[in-house]
Amino acid sequence: MNIIVSRHNKASYLLFFLLTFTSGCCLVLDAQNNKQVDEEFPTPVAFPYEYLGTYSGNLNVADPTGSIANVPTDFIIKKTNDKEVFEYEFSFYQGENKIVNKYLLHIIDEEKGYYAITDEEGLEFMATLIKGVLYSTYDTKDKIMFTSLQFTNDGKLRFNIIITLKSKKQGKGGTNLSNVVQVQKALLSKT
């Protein structure tokens, strides 16, 4: 059985194909032209290279009773001779004494966002970069620490530490219980 396609049907198919194809092209071009650019947060590729320098501001320390301190704080990140290691330090005042905590940031797998952080006293923990935020969690004998460093395109650094105190009590299902005992937050500006 032969199928006979009239000129009218051929023209309809051709017109349908052209409209579909050009509409699809326009949608692709429109999507390419209207890429949503995140103005505030950087792309992960920029970390840490485009954020070298000094950031200053105040660190707010709070516990369940409320704010317990608002401390002038500096954060410095800089290159080392090793292209896969960066120095960074946090300094803040405790009374009249300036406390400086120095760390090394080691690139483990930049493509996957894996880093290691070490200090002069042998502390070592892993960190992961997700959508421009460097997250890390580590525990000590009696505490669990969660930190985040978030650099923005407008020269800001948001820094957070959540400290939990481990409990010897077990929850239902064998979970280990711990309570958040302190939160430290800072919004620092590049100077």
Largest Cα–Cα separation, the chain: 98
CA dihedral of residues 142, 89, 135, 65 (deg, nearest 10): 50
Q: What is the CATH number of the domain that holds 125?
A: 2.40.128.20
pLDDT of 38: 55
Parent domain of 77: 44-190
Task: Judge whether 191 and 177 are in contact, CB under 8 Å.
Answer: no
Do residue 143 and residue 86 come from a single domain?
yes
Taking the CA of residue 5 as centre, how many other CA atoms within 13 Å lie in the half-sphere pointing to its CB?
6
Q: How many domains does the chain have?
A: 2
Residues 55 and 30 grouped into a single domain? no
- Cα separation, 45 vs 33, in Å, equals 22
Is residue 19 domain-shared with residue 88, that is, in the same domain? no
Picking from 72, 67, 122, 109, the residue whose alpha carbon sits closest to that of residue 94 is 72
Helix (H, G, I), strand (E, B) or coil at 37: coil
The pLDDT profile of the chain, 191 residues, written as one tens digit per residue, is 444 444 444 444 443 443 444 444 443 433 334 334 455 554 544 788 888 999 999 999 999 999 999 999 999 999 999 999 999 999 998 888 999 999 999 999 998 999 999 998 888 899 999 988 999 998 888 899 999 999 888 889 999 999 999 888 888 888 888 899 999 999 999 99
Is the domain of 20 the same as that of 72? Answer: no
Both 26 and 48 in one domain: the answer is no
8 and 49 together in one domain: no
Q: Does residue 29 sit in the same domain as residue 113?
A: no
